Chains A and B, each alone.
Chain A
Amino acid sequence: MIISLRHPFGLMLTAVCALVFVYLLLPLVVIVVSAFGDTGYLAFPPKGLTFKWYQAALANPRFIDGFLVSVRVGAVVASISVLVGVAAAYAIVRRPFMGSSLLEALFLSPLLLPTLVLAVALSIFFSAHNIASGTNRLILAHIAICIPYVLRVTIPVLRRFDVTLEEAAMNLGASPSATFFFVTLPVIQPGVIAGATLAFIMSFDEIDLAIFLASPRESTLPVTIYSAVQLGFEPSLAAVSAWLILLTVCAMALFQFLIGRRTNS
C-alpha cells in the first residue's frame, strides 16, 4: 500500500500520526520553550522572551556539580564496560566454548529485567556487606547494566567480521595479540565506539539505580533534577533540562554517524 494524502485513508492516517507526534514531542517542546519565558515561574505558553534562565542554569553550581558527577560516572562506566564487554564478546563469538550461547543469553538478560529490582537488590547488598562507598556503588551498579548494551552492539559486529583477515595477518607472522590490535580492533572499532557511546548515555541518563545508590553528597544530574522538581518548578530547572535535550540531540547525531559509518563500511 502506498500512503497518499489524496486518498481519505492516507489523509486520516497522516492526521492520526500527526497527533501522535504532538503527543510524543509535546513534553520536550514544553521544557525547551517554557525555559525562554521571562517570568519567575514556569509557564506554558511562556510570557516574554529571555535567555537568562539558560545562562543561569550554566552558572548554577548545583547543576554543574551534578553534570560533572554524571560525566565522571558515565566515563568510568563506559571505559570499564567496553573493556570487559568487548573481551567477552570476542570470546563468545570467536572462541565458542561449551555453554557460550547460554552465557550470551545470561549476559543479555539484564536488558530485559526490571532495573528497579536490581536497584533494591544492590542497595541491600552493598549496605549489608559494606561493599564500596559513595559514588563507587553507583559506578559498579551502572557497569552491571551497561556491559549488556556493549555486548549487544559488539557481538553482531564481530559476527560479521571476516575471519580470513586475521588468518592472513597470522600467516604473515603476526602474534595473536598483534593481530587483535592491528587487524581486528580497527575493523570493529565503529562498533566499539558505538557501544561506548551507548554505555555512556545509559549511565548518564539512568535514574532508578542513581536514586537508590547515589551518595547524598554527590548526586548525578538526573537525580538533582528529580529532587528539585518535586519542590517546585523553577525556570532554571527547565533550562538545565533543555540543555540536556540539546546534548541528547548532539549525542544522537554522533551515534547515528557512527552506526552509519559502520553499515556503510
Chain B
Amino acid sequence: MLLVAPAVLVFAGLYAWPLLSMLTSSFMEPQAFNFASYKRFLFDSYHLMTLARTLFFGACVTVITLLCGFPLAFLLARLESRWAPILLMITTFPLWVSAIVRSFGWMVLFHRNGLISNSLQSIGLVDEPVQLMYTLTGVIIALAQVLLPLMVLTLYPVIRGIDRDLENAAMNLGATPGLAVWLITLRLARNGIAAGSLLVFAISISAFATPSLVGGARVQLMATAIYEQTLELLDWPFASAISAIVLLIALIVVVLYMRIVQDHEIPVR
C-alpha cells in the first residue's frame, strides 16, 4: 500500500484535483452554481460553428487515416518478407518525432511556392498557386499524417489475428482478392476499424500544435479557441467551459473505444 501512495498522490494532486477544480470553476461564473459559461458558448453561432468545424475536422482526419491506414496495415500484416518488420518500424517512426517538427515539414510543403503548389501547377491541375497554409484542408492533411501511425498500429494486430485461410477460401470459391478483402477481412476487422477510428477522432478534436501552426488564427477550432481564452484573453471560466465540452466529447468517444477494445481483446495502442 505504501508503494502505491506516491502515485496516488501525483494522480490526485496533479490530475484529478486540477481537472475537478477546472470543471467547478466553469460553473462558478459570475458566482454561485450556474451555466452562464456554457450558455455563452452554446447560444452563440460563432462558437457553435467552431464546435461543428472541429467535429467535421475530426471526422475528415479519421476517414483519411482509415483510407490510408487500412491498406498499409493489411500489406504489413500479410507480407511474408524480411522487410515486413522494417516497414512496420518505418511506419511507427514518425510517431516518435515531435509533432512540431512534422507540422513544420508540412508548412514548408504548403508554402505558396512550395512543392505541393508548384507540382500541382506544373502538371496542370491548377493555374494559380494553391493556398493550403492557413486552411482547414491543410490542417486536415497535416494532422492525418501525424495520427496515421496510430491507426496502422491499431489495425495491424487485428488484421494479423484474422486467419488468412478465410481469404484463401473465398478466393478458391471464385472471389477476386479485392472482393475477398472486402467480404472477409474488412468485415472481420470491423471492431479494430471502429477502435482505431474512435482513437484518432478523440485525439484529433483536441489536437493543438498542428492546427495552431498549419491553420494559424484563420482556422478556428476548439483547441485554438481554448488556447486563445486561456493564454491570450485570460478568461479562465470560459476556457474551462470550452475545455469541459471537449473533455466530455473525448470522454464519450474514449469510453466507446475502451468498450470495443476490451470486448474484442484488441491490443491498446
Contact = CB atoms under 8 A, between A and B. Distances in A.
A28 B101 contact: yes
B75 A117 contact: no
A87 B6 contact: yes
B159 to A, nearest CB: 11
A248 interface: yes
A95 B98 contact: no
B25 A124 contact: yes
Contact of B75 (A14, A92, A121, A237): A14
A34 B106 CA distance: 12
A24 interface: yes
Given A24-B145, A248-B96, A2 B101 contact: no
16 contacts: A21-B72, A24-B148, A27-B145, A29-B105, A44-B114, A83-B6, A88-B7, A88-B8, A113-B251, A121-B22, A121-B243, A122-B18, A140-B14, A144-B15, A151-B7, A241-B105
Contact of B19 (A9, A92, A121, A251): A121
Contact of A95 (B3, B149, B213, B230): B3
Interface residues of A, number: 83
A83 B240 CA distance: 32
B71 interface: yes
Contacts, number: 246
B91 interface: yes
Contacts of A14: 75
Interface in A222-265: 222, 225-226, 229-230, 233, 237-238, 241, 244-245, 248-249, 251-252, 256
Contact of A117 (B10, B105, B111, B206): B206
How many chain B residues sit at the interface, stated as a range, is 35 or more
B78 interface: yes
A208 interface: yes
B4 A31 contact: no
Given A27-B102, A27-B109, A141-B14, A103 B8 contact: yes
Interface string B153-196: 00000000000100110010000111011000000000000000
Contacts of A182: none
A91 B78 contact: no
Contacts of B19: 117-118, 121
B255 to A, nearest CB: 9
Given A27-B102, A114-B247, A226-B213, 20 more contacts: A7-B177, A21-B90, A27-B94, A85-B7, A87-B6, A88-B4, A95-B3, A103-B4, A106-B11, A112-B257, A114-B203, A116-B243, A124-B240, A125-B17, A143-B10, A212-B231, A238-B108, A248-B97, A249-B93, A252-B96
Interface string B103-145: 1111111010011000000000000000000000000001001
A144 B19 CA distance: 12
Nearest to B69: A20
Contact of B3 (A90, A118, A120): A90
Contacts of B90: 21, 24-25
B41 interface: no
A42 interface: yes
Interface in A104-119: 106-107, 110, 112-118
